[in-house]
Amino acid sequence: MEKIKIFDTTLRDGEQSPGASLEKQDKLEIAKQLKVLGVDAIEAGFPVSSPGDFEAVKLIAQKVRGPIICGLARCMEKDIKAAVGAVKPAQHPRIHVFLATSKIHMKYKLQKAEDEILRLAVWGARLARKFTADVEFSPEDASRSEKEFLYRVVEAVIKAGVTTINIPDTVGYAVPGAYGELIRDIRNNVPNINKAVISVHCHNDLGLAVANSLSAVKNGAGQVECTINGIGERAGNASLEEIVMAINTRKDYFNCMTGINTKELCITSHLVSKLTGVMVPLNKAVVGINAFSHESGIHQDGVLKERGTYEIMRPQDVGFGETRLVMGKHSGRHAFSVRLAKLGYKLTEQQVNKAFEAFKLLADKKKEVFDDDLRAIVDEGSRVASERYKLVSFQVTTGTGVEPEALVRVKEKGSAKEAQATGDGPIDACYKAIEKIAKVKGKLLDYSVRSITSGKDALGDVTIKVAFNKRVVLGRAADTDIVQASVKAYLNAVNKLG
């Protein structure tokens, strides 16, 4: 079977998803997990866009061996040189150069004619080729470009040394039949196309990114560009986990394979969601909480008799574990640690003990503890372990006609500190008390809360975005008490300031 290369752009296009900004160390953590997942290439960022992005790409190039590490660049000298400098330490560096080729982009964005675009594309490809043998070129908005001009550009950049040709559906305009036909036409009308791998990069504006990508694979594409959880600009990108599992599940149709370790899909999905603050929808294919859940009595009966009646994938094959974990206050440490291992966590004995204590406290409040409760417990424990300020207690006074007041007590490196403040509500009062303790001033940009599982006793997951001067920080925490979760989330954000 032909192997389809998986080019992950979570750290570049995925990070462009509104609200998904990542710290340098967050990017490195995701990149390391992408290596474990088995992706062929990691587009680590757009180095010229900011000093922080340059440093993040360079750090990944230095630390992550195995996959291709790619930096994006426009057909501009400063972009290409920035990308070269960032990916130079990589074991397998790649420069990805792009230039728009559609009439609407050439007229309104670039204000250049076809001949000038063709000249710039070749110039950019040749400049990148001077620094590395692995160069990818994207004719941006290819799905809306005139085919004859697109063929000319593709042929010319391959002559200039490009080894991968990416055909982007930049605005999600394509439909599967036509997009597959475009890939087939490029194969049939570009004389030297056999000297390059055809790649595809599809956006999800019409909800067709995965379908378009798979149609391209069926018509000869050898690489798919995608993101974890499908995050990205506007409506997002093609979802890596959906692409991979479609190819894996329907080998009979696609007659190809990928090198992805599918058992790492769920833990990778969870990591990206945690670090970006972009939640995975409950009904998300492959990695959503409901992806392997069955509520209908008919479905339950069928699955109990023969799993294949209502499940075309095994939850274990994507690292999902069992759909639902029913655990309570009588559960033992052994069963608890085995369950965490099945969920993909590799914890030390000390970490397991701390998580088990938190589990017991939660089990006293809830009738049932589910897999996502356990994930929240582990995540909460990893956050608290490394935090400068740790919550000891808080008290709030509020009610009709009463100005909300809060008293917050924390420990800072073993020393007890407390502060009192009033605010527009109990949470606002707590946040102002924390600011007094930490001697910072923050502006709350976004606040969201969701129920991790169902029921009145469910854990509430609070995610906030706070601006401290010019720095925007993400804070997150979970608790059955929403006010307490909100307080811990703000402390989590403050702790990230260092």
Please list the helix, strand and coil fractions of the chain in percent, rounded to the nearest 5, in that order. 45, 25, 30
How far, CA to CA in Å, does 437 sit from each of 380, 392, 394, 473?
22, 13, 13, 18
For residue 285, give both structure tokens. 């294919």
Residue 92 · residue 69 · CB < 8 Å: yes
Distance CA 290, CA 299 (A): 14
Residue 286 · residue 265 · CB < 8 Å: yes
Residue 396 is classified by DSSP as E
For residue 292, give both structure tokens. 């392997």
Distance CA 203, CA 200 (A): 10
330 labeled binding residue: no
Q: Which long-range contacts (CB under 8 A, 24 or more apart) does 245-252 make?
A: 245/285, 245/286, 245/313, 245/318, 246/210, 246/214, 247/4, 247/214, 247/217, 248/317, 249/312, 249/313, 251/1
Distance CA 390, CA 477 (A): 12
- Max CA pair span of the chain: 78
List, as one string, the DSSP characters of 218-279.
Answer: HTT--EEEEBGGG--STT-B-BHHHHHHHHHHTHHHH-EE----GGGHHHHHHHHHHHH--P
* Among 436, 454, 452, 455, CA closest to 485: 452
201 labeled binding residue: yes
Helix (H, G, I), strand (E, B) or coil at 201: strand
Angle at 204 between CA 235 and CA 199, to 5 degrees: 130
For residue 202, give both structure tokens. 């599809």
**Dihedral sign (CA 336, 341, 344, 348):** positive
The annotation places the binding site for Mn(2+) at 13, 201, 203, 237
The annotation places the binding site at 13, 201, 203, 237
